[in-house]
Chains A and B, each alone.
Chain A
């Protein structure tokens, strides 16, 4: 049924730390690797070794440049996958009931055997979290590795989404956002976790942590280059003054 559950017992999701992500794409690759052999049909590629390779991926990393008004620009690597929204428009638009949100843990899934590949769910998602599989012609999306997190056949430390398990910089965290004591809820509170495009009214579960403020060069700290400091003492100061006296270059 494509009506949304009123509440979910838990709200499982991810935290993406934009401060620590180094943009290595390891999470993207491990996501593809796990999900091409796990839940549902394989994640297909078309022309993978040819001139125009493309395919379905559940996680992608964009790279942005942010320019503050009073400081040099900085680079932010920006991983993006399904945010498992509480008010997920992709679920309610589905005409077949293939798209659904689980009441037990809030994971948004696609039952691929019911999907007609109309693409309306992808149109309704502001985040670009859904991609049509080019071979199976059904909609693919992040499952939060539902076939890992409850899997008793793998070691306990592996029972987290593949992207979280593989991230070498610890930029991804997995947990229950409905529990205020959980690791993810506390991280959101500590670091000011935020929603993407809150104006869309989707109430995403996944949260992003902002990059920490950078030290600014003009703050008079020890990072200020020697050449711009007003009065320099010692040998360098003497040399500076002596050379000045020889006239301008």
Chain B
């Protein structure tokens, strides 16, 4: 699949934003005062909204995006839109009350956190629902999106509430959150390795229905140039450096952040330093998400000579 920058930015950034919203809603200790009550929600909401805005850049007709709220009965994309807006409205109310009264209402925070995580789940389901992309068509996809979103939210919330609890629970929790998220991703990669198009039963023979006669090979494409399908779904360039990019993703997204978080935890340092772990984690996730798209094989490639052509 074509790894569009707008969609990569959308899934990573809004994932982190909604993760932070979930942590705020769940009552993670954060500094008090009017300035914090303004800046922290602005950061969390800002990331979530920046991601959502980026996602509209890959629409052909963004001016009609509002129509996407109508088909929640059948469409995960529609559900994602509705859940995102619901979360942001709840978060706006929660943040206003926080700013005005200085209080963080738990009975409002809990449904807020649930809505934020449901939004991330719906985002992942947009991809996980597609039978045409066997790499994505698994429950591990929403699980890994949720785990990364929670890890980002925890690390960021930890660094924001730094001076409240030096060397605290936040660093320890962040450590395990990052570890678990990458463990899920490892399982996802392991499954992806054995779930190519061929392994899931789709070949050029089933695509053409000519398997009963013999082995099928593409002799000639229908067109001499590229088309929408080949650019969007028969993208193969990205797979060339896949293993190197995986190492970079793991180094930036797992190695460095775990080192930072572990140091803060063990040295009982201020969790403000977790901000470095967050930046590195985000950089790693951009690479991870790039691979999520670039490595995915789409069934339509079978009509263009197969996923390896």
Whether chains A and B associate is yes
Query: Which residues of A come within 8 Å of B, CB atoms?
Result: 1-3, 18, 28, 52-57, 60-69, 71, 73-76, 78, 80, 89, 91-98, 114-120, 122-128, 131-134, 136-139, 194-201, 208, 210-211
A54 touching B226 in the complex, CB below 8 Å, given contacts A2-B75, A62-B218, A62-B220: yes
Closest residue to B300 on the A side, CB-wise? A128
User: Are B215 and A56 within 8 A (Cβ)?
Assistant: no
User: Are B78 and A68 within 8 A (Cβ)?
Assistant: no
6 contacts between A and B (CB under 8 A): A66-B213, A68-B213, A91-B74, A116-B61, A126-B202, A197-B207
**Residues of the B chain whose Cβ atoms lie less than 8 Å from the Cβ of A66:** 210, 213-217
**Residues of the B chain whose Cβ atoms lie less than 8 Å from the Cβ of A131:** 227-229
User: Are B132 and A63 within 8 A (Cβ)?
Assistant: no
Contact of B207 among A92, A124, A196, A210 (CB under 8 A): A196
User: Are A210 and B209 within 8 A (Cβ)?
Assistant: yes
Interface of A, secondary structure class, is loop
User: Are A64 and B217 within 8 A (Cβ)?
Assistant: yes
Q: Give the number of residues in B that approach A within 8 Å (Cβ atoms).
A: 61
Closest residue to A114 on the B side, CB-wise? B67
How far, in whole Å, are A211 and B208 apart by their CA atoms in the complex?
12
Closest residue to A118 on the B side, CB-wise? B59
B206 at the interface (CB under 8 A from A): yes
A125 touching B67 in the complex, CB below 8 Å, given contacts A56-B228, A120-B126: no
**Residues of the A chain whose Cβ atoms lie less than 8 Å from the Cβ of B208:** 64, 76, 78, 196
**Residues of the A chain whose Cβ atoms lie less than 8 Å from the Cβ of B226:** 52, 54
How far, in whole Å, are A138 and B228 apart by their CA atoms in the complex?
12
User: Are A128 and B233 within 8 A (Cβ)?
Assistant: yes
Contact of B60 among A52, A62, A132 (CB under 8 A): A132
A114 touching B64 in the complex, CB below 8 Å, given contacts A62-B221, A97-B71, A128-B303: yes
How far, in whole Å, are A133 and B60 apart by their CA atoms in the complex?
9
In angstroms, how far is the closest chain A Cβ from the Cβ of B238?
Answer: 16
Closest residue to A73 on the B side, CB-wise? B214
**Residues of the A chain whose Cβ atoms lie less than 8 Å from the Cβ of B309:** none
B237 at the interface (CB under 8 A from A): no
Q: Which 8 A-B pairs have the closest CB atoms?
A: A117-B60, A137-B60, A60-B222, A68-B214, A128-B300, A126-B299, A95-B68, A95-B78
Contact of B61 among A18, A55, A115, A199 (CB under 8 A): A115
How far, in whole Å, are A96 and B73 apart by their CA atoms in the complex?
11
User: Are B227 and A96 within 8 A (Cβ)?
Assistant: no
